[in-house]
Amino acid sequence: FRSPSDTPCFISFGVTSIAPAAYAPKLLECGASCVVSLGAPFEYSPEDFASFGLSHYSLDWPPGVLLTDEMVRRFLAICDEEPGAVALHDEPGLERMGILMANFLVSRNGFSPDEAVAWIRLVRPGSILAEQHEALRAFSKTSEDSSLRSVPPKRWG
- Structure confidence by residue, pLDDT tens digits, 38-92: 876 778 888 999 999 999 999 888 777 877 888 888 999 999 999 999 999 887 6
13-17, 70-74, 114-118: least confident range:
13-17
Share of residues in the chain with pLDDT > 90 (%)? 37
Confidence of residue 151 (pLDDT cuts 50, 70, 90): very low
CB of 49 within 8 A of CB of 56?
Answer: yes
CA distance linking residue 120 with residue 78, whole number of Å: 20
Mean pLDDT of the chain: 81
